[in-house]
Chain A
Amino acid sequence: SYDLTQPPSVSVSPGQTASITCSGSKLGDKYTCWYQQKPGQSPVLVIYQDYKRPSGIPERFAGSNSGNTATLTISGTQAMDEADYYCQAWDSSSVVFGGGTKLAVL
């Protein structure tokens, strides 16, 4: 089975840049999505097709994907960005999610 690996936690100071990685074999050959989930809420799509932002997602959210690693970058991180983040890709007609990364804004 295909696995996506994320760091369990990332910390960032307000106003700084946070980077969350997602690793998988030849992940750069696949499209990656990223979801934000706040406690008690449903996930929200923040990045699709590696780097595109759905309508309503702030420009401070950016994505990239190359080689074996996709990265979600949040510039000028705000307190409201504190959440769990999940990467997601398709493999052989099945969806795979990363284990999730808890972003702490300290």
Chain B
Amino acid sequence: QVQLQESGPGLVKPSQTLSLTCSVSGGSFSSTTYYWNWIRQPAGKGLEWIGRIYTSGSTNYNPSLKSRVIISVDTSKNQFSLKLSSVTAAETAVYFCARGNWFEGGSDGFDIWGQGTLVTVSS
């Protein structure tokens, strides 16, 4: 049973860098069938994809956040991480990590999610 668990500070000051880590257990972290994502959700609002990484290190980012986001991976620890710089109060949200899975037929979806972690941006 694959599980994802987010960890990191729950409070970040405006203009500083938000840093989170997602630990993956119970499965094949390095399989090329999977990629690893960060997604966030402000309270009462919808989902916003932040970006993804393959264990090869290849990344894609949301164009609206690209200049401030770095997603990295540590295959020795089965972890991937998010750094989002210059955060503002509007980026207070629940941050989820999620597994992207390439299914047969050439399509994909986010099939396993972490429980999410609330990050508040406030001084």
Chain B associates with chain A:
yes
Which residues on A are within 8 Å of B, measured CB to CB? 1, 31, 33, 35, 42-45, 48-50, 52, 54, 86, 88, 93-100
Taking A42-B115, A42-B116, A48-B103 as contacts, is the C-beta distance between A100 and B96 under 8 angstroms?
no
Contact call B60/A93, Cβ cutoff below 8 A: yes
The 20 listed contacts between A and B (C-beta, < 8 Å) are A1-B63, A35-B110, A43-B113, A45-B110, A45-B111, A48-B103, A48-B109, A48-B111, A49-B103, A49-B109, A50-B107, A52-B103, A54-B109, A54-B111, A86-B47, A88-B110, A94-B61, A95-B49, A95-B52, A99-B46
Query: With an 8 A cutoff between CB atoms, is B108 at the interface?
Result: yes
* Complex: A35 Cα to B89 Cα, angstroms: 27
- Given A35-B110, A42-B115, verify A98-B46 contact (CB < 8 Å): yes
Whether A42 pairs with B113 at a CB distance below 8 angstroms is yes
Residues of chain B within 8 A (CB-CB) of A94 are 49, 60-63
- Give me 10 other A-B pairs in contact (C-beta within 8 A), A42-B113, A48-B109, A99-B46 excluded: A1-B64, A31-B108, A42-B96, A42-B116, A45-B111, A49-B109, A93-B60, A94-B49, A94-B63, A97-B49
Q: In the bound complex, what is the Cα–Cα distance between A44 and B96 (angstroms)? A: 12
For residue B96, which residues in chain A have a CB less than 8 angstroms away from its CB?
Answer: 42-43
Pick the contact of A43: B60, B61, B64, B110 (CB < 8 A).
B110
Answer whether residue B114 sits at the interface, using C-beta atoms and an 8 A cutoff. yes
Q: Which of B107, B111, B115 gathers most chain A CB within 10 Å?
A: B107
B109 A45 Cβ-Cβ under 8 A: yes
The residues of B that contact A44 with a CB separation of less than 8 Å are: 113
CB distance from B30 to the nearest CB of A (A): 22
The answer to whether the Cβ of B74 comes within 8 Å of any Cβ in the partner chain is no
A11 and B22 alpha carbons, distance in the complex (Å): 36
Residues of A close to B114: CB separation below 8 A? 42
Hey, what's the 0/1 contact readout for B27-59 against A, CB within 8 Å counting as 1? 000000000010000000011110010000000
